Chain A
Amino acid sequence: MKRWHIVLFLAPAVLIYSVFSALPLLDTLRLGFYATNDAGASHFSGLSNYLTILTDPAWSSAFWNAMCNNFKFFLIHLLIQNPIGLILATFLSLKGLKFARQYRTFIFLPTLLSVVIIGFIWQLILSPLWGVSESMMNFVGLGAYFQPWLGEEGSALITLALISVWQFVGIPMMLIYAALLAVPEDIVEAAYVEGASSWRIFWEIKLPLILPTLGLVTILTYVGNFNAFDLIYSVKGAIAGPNYSTDILGTLFYRTFFGYQSQIGSPTMGAAVATLMFLVILCGVGAYFYFVQRKLTRYEL
């Protein structure tokens, strides 16, 4: 065999990926088909876990509530985080912008912090007792509009999503920024010479060229949001109050798998929830590749 080096070079990645990622995933899929009795012994039970989650009202209402919240969480990211990331990246890539590097660093900085710290800081900022937000709003005459946003059913999820947007906006910004830098100078210059405005150059030259990156950012956001858990857990705990209004699939999974307070954890039921999460992500990614990615035109530059 002449191409033995391919096998050699692939081996470490394939080994590590299979042992720590693919096998556990397959085992989770398997575990979802089992159930445990009082003594902790597990036995094969077919689709019963899935039937419980999807048809038993006590489970299905929690599941659909989490799913619905998860979609809201994702939509807020999609509609706010990514456009802001695009705008920031466009400004940063403008020629002659002073302190561009400093801005870039500052905007990217929160991404490096632990989610637990972010959650804690924002909880303090928004606290109705000690937070600075109410006095800052008073300062500009908006004090009357202050609400305990993290404690209200209507606003808690949106607030958490916005905190997450604030933290992670640096990532789409950097990816799009890199794509914008890769747009060849001569095309842009040629357009200038032809008399195109910056606005038109952006819409008709730069945007089509970075569309594959925008697609990538969307799908990364989707996968990230449907796996999200840490921010909600650190701010609202695993029962994701008030009245489960911030419950997403990640917290539902945690409660089911590990248990929370009096709820005794069930690894098999948890595996079923994890499998459903996996399927949701798989369908989303699959649909994206089938309907969007295939049709994207990549320009040879």
Chain B
Amino acid sequence: MRTLSTRHLVLATLLAAGTAQAGTVNIESWRVDDKALWEEVLIPAFQKKNPGIQVKFTPTAPTEYDSSLTARLTGGTAGDLITCRPFDKSLDLFKKGQLEKLDGKAGMENFPASAKVAWQSDDGKATYCMPMASVIHGYFYNKKIFKDLNLPVPKTQAEFFAAMEKIKAAGKTPIALGTADQWESNQTVLTNVGANSWKGEEGRKALIAGKAKFTDPQFVAAWEQLSKMGPLMGKGASAQTYADSQNLFAMGKAGVYPAGSWDIAYFNKEGLDFGAFPPPVAKAGDQCYISDHTDIGMGVNPKAKNKADAYKFLAWLGSQEFADLYTNKVTGFFSLSNHLISVQDPVAKQMLDWRKSCKSTIRLNAQIMNRGTPAMENELWNVSSQVLNGKMAPKEAAAQIQTGFAKWYAPQQK
């Protein structure tokens, strides 16, 4: 009881201090790349409507964000607004009382239920972050190489691999991809190209319900695609980093690039002529599925020094104005709100239009499956990289993930 009352006392003092000297609203984020955009476009737009409120965007490098944020939240020095990772990372913060409950707050009414799932308690009764944006996965292709070699944009996997072989024969790297950083192997490759085999949400939910196993053919098929992609990655891909792959594709030396939509801005800046196509289906006419991942949300720190202003900012994040600015200025992040937005960038528009013909799913392991030990995301990075490198068979990869999953997840232990 004593600690509780001390905590309240500290909180009260902090709140009092906050109202006494209407300070700055500090935003925690991992989007280091967007700093200029926040400072030059988003924050000024907000201040035009809300004069007198100071806002500061203070990002931390993505790989260090989670650990340093946890440290700051525990130490009581975190900012007022917290950019939320989807699913378990944020749920963990909420359970520890480090994120406010946001149900019924201004702005939240503008989001469909599907967008909120990434930041809700398991029973769906509490929402703790406002959905900001999703990213879509697919392939980028170099228009010049495809035109020079007279290749059609592939629709089926057979067409895709035939095109890659032709690019290889022409002396270029077919797929700009490496496994040195490992994360791409899962986030932009496995859960991108695999969604078609496990039928998106159907397969993902079956795993959570315990009705399917990773060793089932529809999941092994995804790794089989990876093992076929491996030899098409180019020489020395096992030591090739994400930045190397970006450069390789930007310099026009590779045919395709397994992409997240956030890369659009980078390749636009590099002046590359490129288009996008969704992951090819197994045979012509099959229903297509895309990885359309709810990626960024915004929550409020319960110990915020400037909570009233933080809520004003949050309400603005739920507005049409923000949705439009964020979608069109931060190219490749798509607003999750109900507002009608016209997307200007051609590639971004192309990717967003896939939603009309393909069914959306989130990254396979994003919800629930990442909770236990061994951490499935990290395991997937590892085994998928090994399959791409030809060091592990698709079936072994599936077996390893399934064993780790069944170890802690009750529905998989039957």
- Chain A interface (Cβ within 8 Å of chain B)? 38-40, 58-59, 123, 126-130, 147-153, 236-239, 241-244, 255, 258-265
Contact = CB atoms under 8 A, between A and B. Distances in A.
Q: Find the residue from A123, A148, A261 having the highest chain B CB count within 10 A.
A: A261
Contacts of A149: 239
A39 B180 contact: no
Contacts of A237: 63, 181-182
B377 A263 contact: yes
Interface string B205-244: 0000000000000000000000000000011111111001
A58 B95 contact: no
Interface in B324-382: 365, 370, 373-378, 381-382
Contacts of B381: 239, 241, 261
Contact of A262 (B96, B179, B375, B386): B375
B244 A129 contact: yes
A288 B235 CA distance: 46
B248 interface: yes
Contacts of A147: 236
A258 B240 CA distance: 26
A128 B238 CA distance: 9
A252 to B, nearest CB: 12
Given A40-B95, A58-B374, A242-B386, A258 B239 contact: no
B245 to A, nearest CB: 9
B89 interface: yes
A151 B96 contact: no
B386 A258 contact: no
A273 to B, nearest CB: 13
B407 A243 contact: no
B412 to A, nearest CB: 15
Contacts of B236: 127-129, 147-148, 151
B8 interface: no
B135 to A, nearest CB: 16
B92 interface: yes
B238 A130 contact: no
A241 B179 contact: yes
Given A148-B240, A262-B378, 4 more contacts: A130-B244, A258-B67, A259-B70, A265-B70
A152 B375 CA distance: 23
Contacts of A151: 178-180, 236-240, 389
Given A58-B373, A150-B239, A259 B67 contact: yes
Contact of B89 (A129, A236, A258, A264): A264
A148 B238 contact: yes
Nearest to B389: A242
24 contacts: A39-B95, A40-B95, A40-B96, A40-B97, A58-B373, A58-B374, A59-B373, A129-B234, A130-B247, A148-B237, A149-B239, A150-B180, A151-B240, A239-B382, A241-B179, A241-B180, A242-B391, A255-B378, A258-B67, A260-B375, A261-B183, A262-B89, A262-B377, A264-B92
B404 A58 contact: yes
Contacts of B241: 123
A280 to B, nearest CB: 23
Contact of B385 (A241, A255, A259, A262): A241
A255 B381 CA distance: 14
A128 B235 contact: yes
B100 interface: no
Interface string B50-81: 00000000000001001100100000000000
Interface in B160-193: 178-183
Contacts of B237: 128, 148, 151
A110 B286 CA distance: 58
A262 B66 CA distance: 10
B182 A241 contact: yes
Contacts of A236: 180
A100 to B, nearest CB: 38
B95 A258 contact: no
A60 to B, nearest CB: 12
A39 B91 CA distance: 11
A71 to B, nearest CB: 22
A39 B96 contact: yes
B88 interface: yes
Contacts of B235: 128, 148
Contacts of A241: 179-180, 182, 381-382, 385
B173 to A, nearest CB: 9
Given A237-B182, A239-B381, A239-B382, A261 B375 contact: yes
Q: Find the residue from A38, A129, A148 having the highest chain B CB count within 10 A.
A: A129
Nearest to A40: B96
B51 to A, nearest CB: 39
Nearest to B87: A262
A151 to B, nearest CB: 3
Nearest to B92: A264
Nearest to B376: A262
B405 to A, nearest CB: 12
Contacts of B247: 129-130
A128 B239 contact: yes
Given A40-B95, A263-B375, A129 B240 contact: yes
A58 B379 CA distance: 11
Contacts of B67: 258-260, 265
Contacts of B88: 262, 264
A265 to B, nearest CB: 6
B236 to A, nearest CB: 2
A122 B369 CA distance: 37
A32 to B, nearest CB: 17
Interface in B68-121: 70, 88-89, 92, 95-97
A260 B63 CA distance: 8
A151 B391 CA distance: 12
Nearest to A126: B239
Nearest to B66: A259
A300 B270 CA distance: 69
